[in-house]
Amino acid sequence: MKRTTTLLCAAALVMISGYHLKAQEKETIKKNGLTLHFTSQDPTFDPALKKKMIETFFKVYPQLSKEYNKKTDKEVYFEIDTAYDGVAATGGGKVTYSSAYFKKFPGDVDVVTHEVMHIVQNYGRSKGPGWLTEGIADYVRYKFGVDNPGAGWALPEFKNTHTYKNSYRITARFLAWLENHGNKGIVQKLDSSLRDHTYTNEIWEKETGKSLDDQWKAYSENPAL
């Protein structure tokens, strides 16, 4: 009886270990000078979605590096986390994605585009506003996203209750409007100033000829992109 119990316990440990190894599945992909480490804690994570995420990384990351920061990290880490209850979070060259979120929204592959822009941004302890950091990342998603329609994602129509401090898509739309109305390249200039810690409110008038508040006023009076 004792021997049988021991054997059963050993078998259970083997099964648990096997499950753990599967749940911690790791893959490293190298392409065109970039390395992506992909780790999943979720053994049920959709392989087709994983493939799309990897393809999205290798498509958009070189574009973002070329346009915004040629010195960005060449080695990046993705982790599918079963315990994380947000959407995604980025820091130190690593993006943590919520497996629960992707189960609900498997078409939202351009979360990758937004999050890897945060790696490219690499602002460190920049004193720039958080609303602008996230607005730039969503502007980049708008410009470089591989399948925003598939996620039902789009820039919102302007409302007079909006402000540029609303961040994310609302700020992104303002940035797109600036780019389309005589200020081409302004996002690159703002991004660069945040990275080298030279950003101040005066940059808006210096680069666009109007203060931030005056530009928002002009936008609110004629918000068509």
Name the nearest CA neighbour of 162 among 178, 176, 173: 173
Q: Answer whether 123's CB lies under 8 Å from 92's CB.
A: no
Q: What angle do CA 144, 192, 33 make, to 5 degrees?
A: 55
Distance of CA 127 to the CA centre of its chain: 20
Q: Going by DSSP bridges, is the β-strand pair 94-98/88-91 parallel, antiparallel, or unpaired? A: antiparallel
pLDDT band at 154 (very low <50, low <70, confident <90, very high): very high
pLDDT at res. 2: 44
pLDDT band at 45 (very low <50, low <70, confident <90, very high): very high
Mean of the pLDDT values across residues 197-208? 97
Q: Delimit the domains of the chain by residue range.
A: 24-122, 125-225
Joined tokens for residue 84 = 């994380």
The DSSP symbol for 77 reads E
Spatial neighbors of 37 by CB under 8 A, at least 6 apart, are 26, 27, 28, 75, 76, 77, 78
Backbone angles phi, psi at 222, to 5 degrees: -150, 70
Mean of the pLDDT values across residues 171-177? 98
* CA atoms of 56 and 178, how far apart (whole Å): 27
pLDDT at res. 53: 98
pTM of the model as a whole = 0.89
pLDDT surpassing 70 at residue 181: yes
pLDDT surpassing 70 at residue 5: no
pLDDT digits (tens, 9 = 90+) for 103-135: 999 999 999 999 999 999 999 988 899 999 999
**14-23 own/partner pairs: CB under 8 Å, 24+ apart:** 19/43, 23/82
Q: Going by DSSP bridges, is the β-strand pair 75-81/94-98 parallel, antiparallel, or unpaired? A: parallel
pLDDT surpassing 90 at residue 21: no
Spatial neighbors of 12 by CB under 8 A, at least 6 apart, are none
Q: SS3 for 164?
A: helix
Mean of the pLDDT values across residues 29-40? 98
Q: Which CATH architecture has domain 24-122?
A: Orthogonal Bundle (1.10)
* CA atoms of 122 and 100, how far apart (whole Å): 27
pLDDT digits (tens, 9 = 90+) for 46-75: 999 999 999 999 999 999 999 999 999 999
pLDDT at res. 66: 98
- Angstrom CA distances, 173 to 86, 170, 195, 224, stand at 24, 5, 21, 10
Joined tokens for residue 154 = 């789009």
